[in-house]
Structure formats: structure tokens, C-alpha cells
Structure 1
């Protein structure tokens, strides 16, 4: 049984709940975790799992932390996990980035960095890995996520092997559970929650050998992202040449477009000096309010390899927290990054908004 440590942690969580302790339940992921297409927040899968704990263990006191942000991957997740989740000292965490991560080595590495930050955090939380799926074609990053999860012995819930499989067998029509082929409706969220609570109940009935406590396993990837830092106006002081710091107060983790830098005119620029970086990604807003400015990212003065940052979004579901990698190396080096507006006009309906740099 290669999930012994994860099973032990969940059984310990349940023992605490039975003893009437005060416990924090955390949910970390993308739009499905946030509750997309549930008719109200209380009907999303995360809140239903929270409600299940309250019903099953009425003598315990539970706190609910939903740190889902739609349209985001584990690359962003690993940089925000402390502020949005771990500072609340969770006793139990469900993680799901299986439909936002791509099935590529980069996301296997960012996902492992995220899992390690949670798994080895000081509260040693019980964890479940949730793997959702695109219902039209079965796409999911589940396989690379499971490689990571199995390495650390963390149990998982596969929607591809359960709800999606039953849909293919004709037990559900796709439109019964998801209007758009991805995000669950109320019934879909109910089914997700039941898979999770059934898994927890199954684990409660398992016998596991005592074994030794996990003292820290070597990573399965290069693990460059575990110590990622997200730089915003709160913790960095770049040189502003036309850009300005956004002075508005940020209200919660879903108040996305705050604590960044704003530019509106051609020639506006911002200059960062970064020490000991192996990876750098620029997080900026792609907006549906077009037209909008276009910028150029120049690393170490090399304009021949500059990366275009086009803030015009060609989707219609809303503004996007877009993440553009500009450096991926194995060796730590000092770097200079300049971002300059190269296209803007009075016809623009939105500004260029730089949310952060994510550096590891």
C-alpha cells in the first residue's frame, strides 16, 4: 500500500473530529474549487464537503477556507499558497489543478512544488488530491499529478475513473452534470462531493501498518518551484518610469487586480533587478475590454528575444490572470527585467495591468 502516510493523516484527522476538536478545512484549486456554475456558493463541492464534516462530527468545530481562483494553474498556486491557504494553518486540504495544468513536465514540477509546500507545512495536514476532467474528451493532467501524489503517499479521487466513466456508460448525460463540458452544475458538484466523502469514509475503515513517519522525501522533479516568491507592490520596489503602483486596497484573494502596477501610455516602463533566479514568469491581465495596450518584456537587455505581452484577451468569459514564463534555467543567476509599453492609444478601453512576477 503506497498511500500509508496519507491514509494515516486522514485517520488522524477523523480521530480529532470525533474528539470534538477545532479544525480548519482548506480547498485549493481553480474555478471548480472556487465554485464555478454552482447556483450559490454553499452548493459547490468544497462547501458540501465542509457541510458533510459538520454533519458527521457535530461535536467538532470546523472552519472553511476556499482558496480556489478560476483560470489558474499550480504555477500560480505554488506562489500564493501560503498567503491564501497555509497561513490559516489547515488540518485538511484538497488540491485540484487537473484541468488547468497541462500534461507537461513543467506542470509536474510546479505541482510537486505546491504539494511539498502543503504536505511539509508545520500543521502536517491530511490531504486528498482531486483530479477533475474535461467531460467532452476526457482530458486531464491526472497522470502527472498522480506520479507526484503516489511518491508522497497522498490518496486521490479520480473523476475520470468515476463520474466521467459512469457518464460514458450512460448513467448520466453530459448536460445533466455540466453545461459547458467542464464546470459542474449543482448536481455535478453534489456528485464530486460524494466521491470525496465516500473516499474519506473508505479510508476510515482501512487498517494501516504503523510504519515510520515521513521525514521528507526527495523530489521526483528538479523541484525549482517549491520556494517560489510572488513579487507585488507589497514586497518589491522596481524602478517606475511611467508605470504606477495601484494604491487601491485589496479585499480578499478573489480581488485579483490589486497590488500591482498600471501603465497606460506608449513608452511607460518598469525595471526589476532579480537575484539568484532560475525561473521568472510575468503575471498580467488579459482583458475582454478591447482594445488594450501591448507591452514587451526584455530580459537582460536582449531585445532580440523579447516576449510580447498582449493584454487583449480573445475569450469572452472575463479578464484573465495570464502567466507568461520568460526564464527557465537550472542555474541561479542575477537578472534584469524591463517591461515597456510598445502599443497604446486613446482608444484603449483598459490599462496594462502587471499583477506580479513569480520567481524561483
Structure 2
């Protein structure tokens, strides 16, 4: 049975309000409304997370003394960050192969948002991704190819749709997933479910890990992400659980590790990197005694939310098999922003029509601060399904935003019509379509 999603519901599920950040290329969209979004998470999910975190905190308590963050994470911070150790056999297999074949290249991909892209760090060297790369070169093998697939202000809803293109095409051996911009709810649990499953299903059996950051107030999508990590028995490392108990105990402040309310500064990136390197390093130090058999993914494994976004991909002008422009109308501009290319744009308002073959349809559109981008109405098969406002006047910067507009139980070809309805603000850019 098909379902049309009201704009307000879709907006609530797929968008986080935005934190004030320096620029559109590196800013995260974790925001002031995240606390409200997080409150929608199920009580059982929150209880499960609290149970894991509380047990680890009881075993590895906050320090009784002030902590100088320039010295990095303490042993207790590192220990309680491992909120789900999971099955490490795939990771051990990749480590063992690299150690035994030091001139063979290991491919590592980090997919995430502005934190993964490196926002908050004063230089690329200080970014947690590059710190992890340096550690690998010094401790495992110099032959390592690291892909940074971080895009500012994105979430796992966009992430699952761009994963094949940005992460999996290169067949990485290790994949680290980080998305602070998710809300702690069932929608983002379903996004992470499909993203993790897609990664695990790859025929080269990559090791998959989730890295969980935090906002200043301690909100994060940790409960939703943990349910996925537990369902697939993969490692999940929590920067949130490492730093927040120390802040609450007064051992250091959020300002000591962040220049704003989301992004780690240099010291925060050092801590984040050390949580990963300590986890991986422990496996390396015990490589002779751990399970090193990289097993193929068991397709009978139950997807915790049903693998809603199976076969997710991005639709553009170049993918007419799934997105066909039937009437371009005034949307004649070919748009490009970040890695979202070959889209459709207008500066004069008007209407564009498509045929889109999918089970689920979402739109990535361009939010702008110039006061010229307006509101578009979306119809699917003749029915009103969404109203999308691309105006971000006085915001922190331009960015790509996603909204789910249609969901159904089976793949079918649909007519989709987008019309700019704000004559005073005639600009609108459809950067890409999200298809699954």
C-alpha cells in the first residue's frame, strides 16, 4: 500500500535544524531542534542505550581530577567509548592481511558529515580522519588509501543514497560511518539500517564501524544507531560517551574540545582519532589470538527496520533509467553543489515534470541565504505530497538539504511535478533525487 508523506512529517523526519557554522562546505546540520527530535525516540531504545552507557560508566567512571585534553583521551574515556564491540573478525582479517602483506594497499573509507570532512580542525593534518591515516602508516603499513567521503550538513538519509557512488565503488576494506546530523528516531534508524547492511553485503567483506559524536548538550542519534550496531553485531565507538561524563563531572568544558556546539577542535579531533586507533590497535596487538575469518554477510540476518532503503541511489540528469525529465519547463539550469551534480534549476519560477521509477523518492535541494530561493510544491501522481522551502535567509550558509516526499511498498514509475509557488522568490534548485 502506498503512502503519501505530508510535508511537515517528512520535514520532521529528514531534517535537523541548523547550527551556526562558518561555511557551507564544511558545516554540520546538527541543530537546536535536535533535542526535540531526539525526544521522539522510543523509550525502549533510550533505555537500551542508557543501560549500555551506564554500565560502562560504572565500570570506567569519570575522573576525580581535572583533565588536560591536550594530553588526549584517558584510559577510562577510551574504555567506555566502546559501547558495542561487535564481531571484529572482519577488521582483524583486514589488519592481518595488511601486516602480512605490508606493500599491499589497504583501502579505508570514512563516510559522514562535516565532522568527518574535518570541520573544526585548524589544519587537514589535525582532522581525525587524517590522524587515523597517519597512525595506520606508522603502525600497520605505509600503503594505505584513505577516502574521506564527508560532506557538510548531510545525514545518513543522504548518506545511504550516495554510499555506492562515494564509498563502495572503490571497494574499501574498512568503512567508518559518522552522522551527527541524524535525529534519534525510527526514520534515521532505518537509514542507518540500510546503510550498514549495504556496506556489509559487499563481496569483499569490508569491516564496518559506526563512530558516534555528540552535540554540546549531549544530544546525539546514539540510541537509534546503537540498535543497528547491535542488530548487525558491528563495532560502535562513542565519542559522546567518552567526553560527556567528564564534562558533566567538571573535568573539562565543551569549549575545551569544540569551537562551536558540534564540531571538534584540534584537541577534540585528537580524542576522536585516539578512540578509533586504540580500538583497532588493541586488535592488532592481539592479532595472533583473535578470530580473523572474514565471513560473508548472512543475507538471512533480519534487518531491524526492514531495509527500507535497499538499493538506494542518486538520480540526476545522467540517470534517465530511474529519473526521466518529461517536461523541463523553466528548470533549464544544470546545477552543481558539492558532489551533487547534474541537477535542475530555475531563476524564473515555473514547473518541471519527471517520471521517476522507485519505491521511495526524496529530493535534495539547495538551501540559500541570498533571499532569492523560494517555495516549491511537489505532486506525485497528481496528488499534493510536499511543500519545500529553500529559503535560508540569514542562515550560516548555503547547503544541500534532503526531504523524503514519497514512500511505497513496491517499485513503480511515478509522475512527479515540482512547481515554484513563491513569485517573489523564483529561484529553486533540485540538486538530485534520492531513489530506493
TM-score, normalised relative to structure 1: 0.89
Aligned counterpart for 1:296 among listed residues 334, 356, 377:
377
Quickly say closer, same or farther: Cα 1:94–1:163, change in 2 above 3 A.
same
Aligned counterparts of 1:67 and 1:285: Cα–Cα separation in 2: 19
Map of 1:15 onto structure 2: 96
Which residue of structure 1 lines up, in the alignment, with residue 269 of structure 2?
A: 189
User: What residue is the counterpart of 2:150 in the other structure?
Assistant: 68
- Whether contact under 8 Å (2:93, 2:292) holds in the other structure is no
CA contact (8 A) 1:241 1:269 kept: yes
C-alpha distance in 1 between matches for 2:294 and 2:140: 29
- Give unmatched runs, 5+ long, in structure 1: none
Distance in 1 (CA, whole Å) between partners of 2:394 and 2:219 is 20
- 1:52 paired residue number: 135
Cα deviation, residue 333, structure 1: 4.0
**1:198 partnered with 2:278:** yes
Aligned pairs for 1:166-245 (under 5 A) are 166-205=246-285, 207-208=289-290, 213=295, 214-216=297-299, 217-236=301-320, 237-239=324-326, 240-245=328-333
1:265 to 348, 351, 354: 348
Q: Which residue of 2 aligns with 1:352?
A: 428
Q: Which moved more, 1:318-327 or 1:331-340?
A: 331-340
For residues 280 and 32 of structure 1, the distance between their equivalents in structure 2, rounded to whole angstroms, comes to: 27
Give the Cα separation in 1 of the matches to 2:97 and 2:86: 17
Q: What is the alpha-carbon distance in structure 2 between the residues aligned to residue 130 and residue 6 of structure 1?
A: 15
- List runs of 5+ in structure 2 lacking aligned partners: 1-82
Distance 1:314 1:104 in 2: 28
Q: CA deviation at 1:192?
A: 0.4
Q: Matched residue of 1:110: which SS?
A: helix
- Asked if the contact 2:86–2:230 (Cα under 8 Å) also holds between the matched residues in 1, the reply is no
Shift of the 4–192 alpha-carbon distance from structure 1 to 2, 3 Å rule, reads closer
How far the C-alpha of 1:17 sits from its partner, in A, is 2.0
- Asked whether the equivalents of residues 93 and 127 of structure 1 are also in contact (C-alpha less than 8 Å), the reply is yes
Say how many residue pairs are matched.
Answer: 344
CA contact (8 A) 1:112 1:226 kept: no
**Aligned with 1:161 (options 226, 229, 241):** 241
Distance 1:25 1:5 in 2: 19
Instruction: Give 1:141 deviation, angstroms.
Output: 0.8
- Say whether the 8 Å CA contact 1:228–1:359 is kept in structure 2: yes
Counterpart check, 1:339 vs 2:339: no
2:164 to 72, 76, 82: 82
Change (3 A) 1:281 1:315: farther
- Greater relative contact order (CA < 8 Å, ≥ 6 in sequence): 2
Distance 2:294 2:431 in 1: 43
- How many Å separate the matches in 2 of 1:211 and 1:195? 24
Structure 2 match to 1:31: 114
Paired residues of 1:110 and 1:226 also in contact (CA < 8 A): no
Distance 2:364 2:317 in 1: 13
- Which position in structure 1 is the counterpart of 2:206? 125
For 2:405 and 2:115, how far apart are their aligned partners in 1? 28
Instruction: Return the alpha-carbon distance in structure 1 between the equivalents of residues 193 and 280 of structure 2.
Output: 23
Q: CA RMSD of the aligned region, Å?
A: 2.3
**Shift in Å, 1:255:** 2.5
Structure 2 equivalent of residue 283 of structure 1 = 364
